[in-house]
Amino acid sequence: MTYETILTEKKGQVTLITLNRPKSLNALNSQVLDELIGAFAAFEADETQLCAVLTGSGDKAFAAGADIKEMYEKSAADFYLEDFFSKWTSQIVKTTRKPWIAAVNGFALGGGCELAMMADFIIASENAKFGQPEIKLGVAPGMGGSQRLTRAVGKSKSMDMCLTGRMMDAEEAERSGLAARVVPHDQLVDEAIKAAATIASMPPMAIQVNKEMVNAAFETNLDQGLLHERRLFQILTATEDKAEGMAAFIEKREGNWKGR
């Protein structure tokens, strides 16, 4: 499939997806959404690919938000009837069982911050800037910002960000738990691919189970989450890769994974 607003590239077992509208600071319009849905579906279906990295082209932005020029043209009825942007959750977040990392290289504002927070974790460059400035446009986050940011950084900081529209730099984002790591700007994509390759070197079924377990912490109460974790752990103990992984440790060698 060919895309006009994103680039995709396979790097070994890692798929690199790059938002590619640098003149608009990679603003997210309907075409970007449709193409990202296609790219994530292709990644998910490709058995050779085990982890993905999403980044933005150019030096300035991961994505400076949903495309304001596109949204300006739409009425409330358009937003409601199209259920504008609901496909982010239903067709990317929910259907991508393999992990993916957001490599945030600059502005991640509004929908850009919300897209980064849909990733399994964020690696930020020293130049990254996160924000939910929608209030300045007379609106509010609409792709999960008020919910995912609050879960990531807590109520006080999330309120501060949403109500004042201020930006958070990379150091604050890491300190607050929004970003997992901060790396030098010119090494961002390499570092993110390195992290993704480390993940891809793990037993494939265990990769997906670990992702599912951590996500359960957001969607269930503690008792249900602990039960879910125990049951998934018990399922993993029945896999060939569990026998191989433990044998490899005892025999002081690398594991040779079967993915089942």
| Sites of contact with ligand CO8 (CB under 6 A) | 24-25, 27, 64-69, 79, 84-85, 107, 109-111, 133-134, 137, 141-143
CB of 117 to ligand CO8, least distance (A): 12
End-to-end CA distance of the chain: 30
Catalytic residue among 114, 174, 191, 229: 114
CB count within 10 Å of CB 219 equals: 9
Is 114 part of the annotated catalytic residue set?
A: yes
Closer Cβ to ligand CO8, 8 or 24, answer by number = 24
Catalytic residue among 56, 65, 111, 144: 111
Catalytic residue among 61, 112, 134, 174: 134
Residue 151 tokens, joined: 């879960």
Beta-carbon contacts of residue 253 (< 8 Å; ≥ 6 apart): none
CB of 96 to ligand CO8, least distance (A): 20
Phi, psi of 144 (to 5 degrees): 110, 0
Residue 220 to residues 37, 227, 237, Cα–Cα distance (Å): 26, 10, 23
User: Which residue is listed with tokens 């790059």?
Assistant: 18
CB of 126 to ligand CO8, least distance (A): 17
CB count within 10 Å of CB 162 equals: 20
Is 172 part of the annotated catalytic residue set?
A: no
Task: Give the separation between CA 173 and CA 212, rounded to whole angstroms.
Answer: 24
Closer Cβ to ligand CO8, 56 or 111, answer by number = 111
Helix axes 204-219, 240-250, angle to 10 degrees: 110
Is 111 part of the annotated catalytic residue set?
A: yes
Closer Cβ to ligand CO8, 74 or 260, answer by number = 74
CB of 60 to ligand CO8, least distance (A): 6
Closer Cβ to ligand CO8, 137 or 213, answer by number = 137
Query: Which residues carry out catalysis?
Result: 66, 111, 114, 134
